[in-house]
Amino acid sequence: MRTMRSAWWIECLALSSTLLSAPTVLAQPEGKFIDGLIGVVGREVVLYSELIARVEQEKQNGYTGTDLTCRAVEDLLVERLMLDQARIDSITVDEGQVQAELDRRIRYFVMQLGSQEKLEEFYGKTITEIKADFHDQVQEQLMVQNMQQQISGGIEVTPRQVEEFYKTIPKDSLPYINVQVEYGQILRKPRVSDAEDLRVRKKIEEFREQVVKGTKEFCTVAVLYSEDPGSASNCGELGLVPTGVMVPEFDAVALSLKEGEVSQVFKTDFGYHFMQLIERRGEQYNARHVLIKPQVSNADMLVARNFLDSLAAAIRDGRTTFSDAAADHSDDEESRSNGGVMVDPATNSALWATGNLDQQTFFVLDKLEVQEISQPVVVTAQDGEKSYRLLKLVRRTEPHVADLKQDYQLLKEAAEGDLRNRMVQDWLDEKLAGTYVRVHEAYSTCAFQNAWSWQTSEGP
């Protein structure tokens, strides 16, 4: 039976979503497309620009094989076949899933580049604009994933099957696993004092009153006083954004307004706002807003540190566990439900390659013994806000060749991926027989794994 990839076991891992690829301009083959079609699969098309982006993405992921372009073409064709079938089968994706995946990818790139500001500088756009640009792409990728889940979901192999799979891997093909760590955190954001909260509330109420009475233009207030760096210089205007891109409280206010209407002051996790609805188009809207953030004082930071000092003492004395303390007290919503254990967004695994850790986390963990808890350390969030956190080194693996004892979960995922790939291949064989497919003849020399049909004219 044909396989979708080579026999290397690492490529049998479950198909994962691609990350946002950097905007790249590559030289185009002489006499080829500007942005023409390179393939048609059912009612879906593959554009040359998509191929260029995928090739660059594969290079960034470290793939340098001579079949890089052919590999990328076939990947895109397979994805389009699944997307076409997903639409036929009415497979949809909840908007909340799309936003959660966008947030995950944004977090990954912020971690790679160092800050939200650097990511915005890299793309030349605000986070909101980046998310809006990639919204449809991510939605389609999630539809493809849902189609994959429908084809091969629910697979679970037994320990015996994992062992048999492990034995089929040539010894010289077993991967070398570098140092990995599993760690947890308890995050404590400083609480703003009541006096500061009241000061900011009064200040933004005054700004709103000036706008409503016409003594100041909305644009003037936004440019001079708004603390949203992504919109302040543009008179507070966000541009057209889908619902779900902003936090729920923001969406709710925007959707309650009539065009031109100015809202009351409202609060989100970012601070206090008021907004004016400019336009609404179905499930999208454009608005301008002013944001004022309550400021955290040194005293507020000290209270947060002292809280974690006391919590760490309780954990060390056995009065509570790190897991329970995280569930009860951590301000990190994503990890607290998991006992504070942090998941690598690049792999969706609790085991982190040390190269994927930010510098501060690496240096703190490097000094800890397994099961040891750090002192409270300052951490800076994507938006520049500072908090304190406790770190716990749950476990550390030494460099080694993959084996059943230390890497059972990884091998189990690989065995399940191998079975999943074979099920997907059977599905592809069946669907290709009944789907209209045309691929540009420029790729007729590619050693594809599937039987695609060629377009023999000058170009599709």
Residue 104 has, within 13 A of its CA and on its CB side, a CA count of: 17
Mean pLDDT of the chain: 86
3 state DSSP class of 452: coil
2: in domain: no
Residue 163 belongs to a domain with what CATH number?
1.10.4030.10
Does residue 276 sit in the same domain as residue 383?
A: no
- Please say if the pLDDT value at position 17 is more than 80: no
For the chain, count helices (H), then strands (E).
14, 14
Q: Is the pLDDT of residue 229 over 90?
A: no
Q: What is the domain extent for residue 288?
A: 194-292
Average pLDDT over residues 425-443: 91
Residue at 460 is within a domain: no
**Average pLDDT for residues 399-403, to the nearest whole number?**
92
Per-residue pLDDT at 413: 86
In this structure, the answer to whether residues 160 and 67 fall within a common structural domain is yes
pLDDT (0 to 100) of residue 296: 93
- 1 located within any domain: no
Domain count, the chain: 3
Does residue 4 fall inside a structural domain? no
- Whether residues 282 and 307 fall in one domain: no
Where is pLDDT greater, at 57 or 80? 80
Q: Which of 255, 276, 292 is the last residue of a domain?
A: 292
> Are residues 25 and 135 located together in one domain of the fold?
yes
Structural domain includes residue 361: yes
Residue 152 lies in a domain: yes
pLDDT score of 112 more than 50: yes
- Residue 454: pLDDT band with limits 50, 70, 90: low
Q: What was the pLDDT predicted at 250?
A: 94
As a whole number, mean pLDDT of residues 225-243 equals 88
| Residue 322, C-beta contacts closer than 8 angstroms, at least 6 positions apart | 184, 186, 315, 339, 340, 373, 390, 392
CA–CA separation, 330 and 284 (whole Å)? 34
Same domain, 377 and 411: no
**Shared domain check, 159 and 24:** yes
340 and 204 fall within a common domain: no
Among residues 358, 381, 398, which one ends one of the domains? 398
Q: What is the rounded distance in angstroms from the CA atom of residue 422 to the CA atom of residue 50?
A: 27
Mean pLDDT of 265-291: 94
Same structural domain, 25 and 107:
yes
Indicate whether 431 and 451 sit together in one domain.
yes
330 with 185, same domain? Answer: yes
CATH at residue 277: 3.10.50.40
Query: Residue 7's pLDDT is what?
Result: 30
Q: Which two tokens stand for residue 180?
A: 């990995």
Question: Does 151 share its domain with 35?
Answer: yes
Q: What backbone phi and psi angles, to 5 degrees, belong to 275?
A: -140, 165
Q: Averaging pLDDT over each range in 31-40, 104-113, 162-171, which range is the top one? A: 162-171
Q: What is the pLDDT of residue 1?
A: 33
Q: Do both 169 and 185 map to the same domain?
A: no
- 200 or 385, greater pLDDT: 200
Residue 12 has pLDDT above 50, yes or no: no
The C-alpha R_g of the chain, in whole angstroms, comes to 26
Interval 209-226 mean pLDDT: 96
Instruction: Tell me what pLDDT residue 35 has.
Output: 55
Most confident stretch, 100-104, 146-150, 362-366: 362-366
Q: What is the 3-state secondary structure (H, E, C) of 334-372?
A: HHHCCCCECCECCCCECCEEHHHCCHHHHHHHHCCCCCC
pLDDT band, very low/low/confident/very high, at 455 (cuts 50, 70, 90): low
The reply to whether 233 falls in a domain is yes
| Domain membership flag for residue 333 | yes
pLDDT in tens, 57-68: 888 877 877 789
Show which of 292, 312, 331 is a domain's final residue. Answer: 292
d(CA 163, CA 169): 10
